[in-house]
Amino acid sequence: MSEQQTEDRQRRAAIVLSNPTGFKVCEGCESIIRSEASFCPLCHAYRFNEDPKDVIEGAILIAMRPSTIQL
């Protein structure tokens, strides 16, 4: 993972960490999305985990690993 990618993922994680109740974790692909979403834009799942502790844990994990999504 390049330094730019690492910084971008860490910046996004910081946004989630500053307001974990504004996000939720997709049960299908483990992506973190805004709480207003009714389905995941990546995998189209509609089941989510909204527990702030799990959102925080997910944000930390995602910030440390390379992206697995191919756009």
Domain count within the chain? 1
Q: At what angle do helices 52-64 and 3-18 cross, to 10 degrees?
A: 170
Q: Are strands 32-34 and 23-26 parallel, antiparallel or unpaired?
A: antiparallel
Q: Which residue segment(s) compose the domain that 14 sits in?
A: 3-64
Give the per-residue pLDDT at 41.
Answer: 94
- Could you tell me if residue 59 is inside a domain? yes
- Could you tell me if residue 17 is inside a domain? yes
- Could you tell me if residue 7 is inside a domain? yes
The pTM is what?
A: 0.83
Each residue's pLDDT expressed in tens, for the chain with a length of 71 residues? 677 877 888 899 999 999 999 999 999 999 999 999 999 999 999 999 999 999 999 999 988 877 666 55
Give the per-residue pLDDT at 68.
Answer: 65
Give the per-residue pLDDT at 69.
Answer: 61
- Could you tell me if residue 46 is inside a domain? yes
